[in-house]
Amino acid sequence: MTVSRWQTLGTLALASSLLTATAFAANPKSASKVKTSSTKSMNSNVPADPYLWLEDVEGERQLAWVRERNKSVESLTSTAEFKKLEADILAQLDSKAKIPGVGKIGEFYYNLWKDETNPRGLWRRTTLEEFRKSEPKWETVLDLDALGKAENVNWVYKGADCPPPYNRCLVELSRGGADAVEIREFDLNTRTFIKDGFRLPEAKGSMTYMDADTVFVSTDFGPGSMSPSGYPRIVKIWKRGTPLNAAKTVYEAGAKDMTAGATHDFTPGYERNFVYRVPDFYSIELFELTKAGKLVKVEAPDSAEKSVVRDWLLIKPREDYKVGTTVYPAGSLIAANYDQFKAGKREFKVLFTPDAQTALQSFTATRNYLVLGTLQDVKSRLTVLKIPPAGQSDWQQVDQPGIPAIGDVSVSAVDALESDALWMTSTDFLSPTTLSWLDVGSLPIALKSNPMFWDGSNYQVKQEFATSNDGTKIPYFIVMHKDTKLDSKNPTLLYGYGGFEVPMLPAYSGTRGMAWLDKGGVFVLANIRGGGEYGPNWHQSVIKQNRHKVYEDFSSVAKHLVLTGVTSSEHLGAMGGSNGGLLTGNMLTQYPELFGAIVIQVPLLDMYRYSQLLAGNSWMAEYGDPQTKDWEFIRTFSPYHLFDAKRQYPPTLFTTSTRDDRVHPAHARKMMAKMLEAGKTAYYYENIEGGHGGAANNAQAAHMWALSYTFLWNELSK
């Protein structure tokens, strides 16, 4: 059982899909109800907003504006070259040869599969014996396209909670890819939804099993039950066969807290219930709910990530944690006997200590082992530790052969309750992802590899370091052809994120290779501060009033690329999404002279209004509260307010989604309106579906990526 900070903002992936990480959803039904009646600002230092009306997500006037703005990309999308690129990208996404990623539920291995025939997806299953074959036989469990057709709803599968005895699941369905989900109970034996089973209407929140006939539920229970961030703040226990309004409240978070929830640990012999309160994005208060119904707080720092693995409490501090005379540094991992810790004893085993080059990225428990994933100058490493049996306390490191020395390597437990097997995925910029079966202590066995949609054998990868304004060394990766000349003429795409302690790691992308590198472009991935490449301090050093350092880091990489002859400003483009959209928005408004074109995807841009729009309130621990004196520093990185109609700006493409109920589409809408009013060169595309990922199916994703690469190539290859 792990309770860690909630990455509700999410990130844009570098390949052909968008990576998001969120445990809770924002309600699309409330998205169009943002207060827009006044153009007056609550702060005298903020000018009136003439485009406030665009915050009404689904208003007829607003959608008419969107449809008109979407015409701006017709010159890009109407060419034969674009249509071929879009078709080629879609062929990759729909390829039947790609790895069918699976998760074990009982004796079966489940996969969600999308292709040309099944654009919404098939939730299907197979056996391990079949999965090891080159062409496994699959059994369809749920056909999302058929369900959507039958119910006249464009359902998108968002996941399922399927605990022991693995005969029932709580399936999450989203309209159009939004975060908000409808949750229905599903019978895995009959492969049908259970009539009169547990069911929640479309809303924010979650539902998870306590046992076969009981669930924890956190949702919109009516007025006052939701936090300012738009997430549920009340946890209830709901018994089968009773109405939801009869569910018993077990916890209620404060009115200003971000959210609250609960989970059950199904580990045999260690069954426990946990309730958690999330005051803000980087704090979690954890309680054990005893059999007597009492909440007992786990007295570890609220800022720390906390996991209970059988007999052990694992703590990963985000700040230095002092116990007696001992200080456990931020980013370390320490372990204590859980029962002894609850009794007041504070004896810890140190499992990992960070240094200037190495950070703990993740840890995964199997039945008998704990596997640490670390980054050393943004290169993956694995360490395996034997979990001490009950009554013992020595953690022994286990030799694990066969781990790739380069690229990104990650592991996850196949079945943490029953085995020590791991799924291992490995990739790098030039090599397609490989999925391997790894029994701890044995050599990994490669099971599947993605097709080589793009041949990287004639390309090279280099890691370089730029120096930011305050002297900090900022690593970045360059991917380019071996024959590339450093003549300052190479069309170059610089990608970054820089927030929420999310690291940007090497990854293969056939789309990027085909659409950019094979044309003669150079790709650069910047590992700027704000991410998790070097642990919590790499992130915390640039939150709130120090946010400007993120943009100084990214601009320093841009300048270094010019200084070293990789490219020049007229041939250099920037791309980023979500928090990365805020990054590229600041490149547009603060460093326009450094770039020849900029792509801004599902962005935050209006940093005065962000905390009042959808899930924005939950990110104030990252950016600050604009309704307080924090505005004095927030205004320095609010692109919407930094925009100056008198300045020259590079051509810009904005992309967003009407169904994005996490980052409000008005950020992109309003910035586009300002660009147009000032007569700047700007393109706009708002997908009606897609949620925060920007696309709800492969065809939409192919269109979005073809659009971005076509725009950049047209502008940067001149």
Render 38-96 in DSSP notation, one character per residue: ----SSTTS---TTGGGG-TT-HHHHHHHHHHHGGGHHHHSSHHHHHHHHHHHHHHT-T
Amino acid residing at 127: T
Q: Tell me, what's the pLDDT at 38?
A: 38
Round the average pLDDT of the chain to a whole number and report it.
Answer: 91
| Beta bridge partners of residue 552, listed in sequence order | none
Q: Tell me, what's the pLDDT at 178?
A: 80
For the 60-90+457-716 domain, the top CATH level (class) is: alpha beta
For residues 332-338, give the mean pLDDT.
98
Contact between residue 273 and residue 286 where contact means Cβ atoms under 8 Å apart: no
Q: Tell me, what's the pLDDT at 358?
A: 96
| Beta bridge partners of residue 296, listed in sequence order | 288
For residues 398-414, give the mean pLDDT.
91
Indicate the SS3 state at residue 629: coil
Q: Tell me, what's the pLDDT at 405?
A: 79
Instruction: Identify the DSSP state of 389.
Output: P
pLDDT for residue 35 is more than 50: no
Catalytic residue among 578, 611, 618, 708: 578
Residue with the bigger pLDDT between 346 and 29: it is: 346
Residue 684: is it exposed, middle or buried by C-beta count within 10 angstroms (0-12/13-18/19+)?
A: buried
For residues 269-279, give the mean pLDDT.
96
- Percentage, residues of the chain above pLDDT 90: 86
Q: Tell me, what's the pLDDT at 695?
A: 60
Q: Tell me, what's the pLDDT at 15?
A: 26
Q: Tell me, what's the pLDDT at 144?
A: 97
pLDDT for residue 23 is more than 90: no
Residue 682: is it exposed, middle or buried by C-beta count within 10 angstroms (0-12/13-18/19+)?
A: buried
The CA-atom distances, in angstroms, between 309 and each of 23, 271, 303, 366, 424 are 21, 11, 19, 9, 21
Residue with the bigger pLDDT between 436 and 203: it is: 436
Lowest mean pLDDT among 319-323, 547-551, 692-696: 692-696
Supply angle C-alpha 415, 420, 424, rounded to 5: 80
Amino acid residing at 652: T
**Order of strands, sheet of 259-265, starting from the edge strand that comes earlier in the sequence:** 259-265, 272-280, 283-289, 295-297
The CA-atom distances, in angstroms, between 650 and each of 316, 572, 573, 599, 705 are 43, 10, 9, 10, 20
Distance CA 614, CA 468 (A): 34
Residue 710: name the closest of 621, 631, 599, 601 by CA: 599
Distance CA 542, CA 470 (A): 12
Distance CA 555, CA 565 (A): 16
Catalytic residue among 264, 539, 571, 692: 692
Query: Which residues fall within 8 angstroms of residue 669, CB to CB, at 6 or more apart?
Result: 51, 54, 62, 65, 66, 69, 656, 686
Distance CA 67, CA 609 (A): 24
Q: Tell me, what's the pLDDT at 81?
A: 96
End-to-end CA distance of the chain: 54
Q: What are phi and psi of 375, to 5 degrees?
A: -120, 130
pLDDT for residue 612 is more than 50: yes
Residue 182: is it exposed, middle or buried by C-beta count within 10 angstroms (0-12/13-18/19+)?
A: middle
Q: Tell me, what's the pLDDT at 39?
A: 41
Distance CA 120, CA 429 (A): 28
Distance CA 464, CA 450 (A): 28
3-state SS string over 650-680?
A: CCEEEEEECCCCCCCCHHHHHHHHHHHHCCC
pLDDT tens-digit readout, 527-538 = 999 999 999 999
Residue 115: name the closest of 85, 144, 82 by CA: 144
Distance CA 497, CA 466 (A): 16
- 548-568 b/e (C-beta count within 10 Å ≥ 16 → b): ebbbbbbbbbbbbbbeeebbb
Q: Is the peptide bond before 165 cis (omega within 30 degrees of 0)?
A: yes
For the chain, the domains span: 60-90+457-716, 100-203, 358-447
Contact between residue 176 and residue 154 where contact means Cβ atoms under 8 Å apart: yes
**692 tagged catalytic:** yes
pLDDT for residue 14 is more than 80: no
- Percentage, residues of the chain above pLDDT 70: 93
Query: Which residues fall within 8 angstroms of residue 576, CB to CB, at 6 or more apart?
Result: 12, 495, 496, 497, 582, 583, 584, 599, 600, 601, 603
Residue 599: name the closest of 429, 717, 715, 466 by CA: 715
Distance CA 311, CA 340 (A): 9
User: DSSP strand E in 253-357: where?
Assistant: 259-265, 272-280, 283-289, 295-297, 305-309, 312-316, 321-323, 326-328, 333-337, 349-352
Q: Tell me, what's the pLDDT at 690?
A: 57
Residue 17: name the closest of 433, 478, 501, 520 by CA: 433
